[in-house]
């Protein structure tokens, strides 16, 4: 019953303290998610792998309203991402977090995060590859097909996807109605 009241929220933290806040959340048993992307670079002729934060100074927590006070008391936490009018924390829909986490954690290709206003695409489900089962929109972006997962507060996450690897979703389930 407690789990039904838990929702995802974005939390702003001090610069360069994300890993410390993750450790604090783990110790407090607060369910959290810190998106980390692995980028491959070439420096002085050598290939270098580097972990980067696609949304700096931001963590995601899945908590109930009662746990908000506990999260705010963690050192280095500024506040929740709030509605500018009501100053209330904005919950992130569960399906958006599930799709975003799957894309960031599982994708072997580079994930692009953008705040650009992207056109709506065809609602699809990935049928092949490492992202099988992921639902999103298929669009043409920079003359290539990309799978888009939208996060209302932060824009869109894109990953290159061959059009042959997806299948169109004909019926929209409750999980995917909000993708349109």
Query: Which residues 6+ apart lie within 8 Å of 60 measured at CB?
Result: 8, 9, 10, 11, 32, 33, 34, 35, 92, 97
- Per-residue pLDDT reduced to its tens digit, 78-89: 999 999 999 999
Q: How far apart are CA 47 and CA 59, in angstroms?
A: 29
Pick the residue with more confidence: 169 or 35? 35
Q: Is the pLDDT of residue 172 over 50?
A: yes
For 95-132, write each residue's pLDDT tens digit: 999 999 999 998 878 888 888 999 999 999 999 999 99
pLDDT of 176 reads 46
Please report the pLDDT score of residue 2 as a whole number.
53
Q: CA–CA separation, 64 vs 156, rounded Å?
A: 26
Q: Is the pLDDT of residue 178 over 80?
A: no
- Of the chain, the percentage scoring pLDDT greater than 90 comes to 68
Domains of the chain in start order, with CATH, are 2-92 (3.30.70.940), 94-177 (2.30.30.30)
């Amino acid at each position: 019953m407690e789990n039904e009241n838990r929702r995802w929220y974005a939390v702003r933290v001090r610069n360069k303290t994300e890993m410390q806040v993750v450790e604090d959340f783990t110790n407090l048993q607060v369910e959290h998610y810190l998106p980390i992307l692995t980028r491959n670079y070439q420096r002085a002729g050598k290939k270098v792998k580097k972990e980067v934060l696609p949304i700096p100074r931001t963590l995601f927590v899945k908590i109930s309203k009662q746990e908000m006070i506990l999260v705010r008391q963690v050192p280095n936490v500024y506040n929740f991402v709030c509605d500018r009018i009501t100053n209330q924390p904005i919950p992130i829909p569960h399906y958006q977090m599930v799709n975003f986490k799957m894309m960031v954690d599982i994708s072997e290709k580079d994930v692009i995060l953008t705040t650009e206003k992207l056109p709506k695409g065809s609602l699809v489900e990935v049928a092949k590859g490492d992202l099988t089962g992921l639902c999103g929109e298929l669009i043409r972006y920079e003359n290539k097909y990309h799978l888009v997962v939208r996060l209302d507060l932060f824009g869109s996450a894109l990953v290159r996807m061959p059009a042959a690897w997806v299948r169109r979703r004909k019926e929209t389930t409750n999980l995917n109605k909000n993708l349109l």
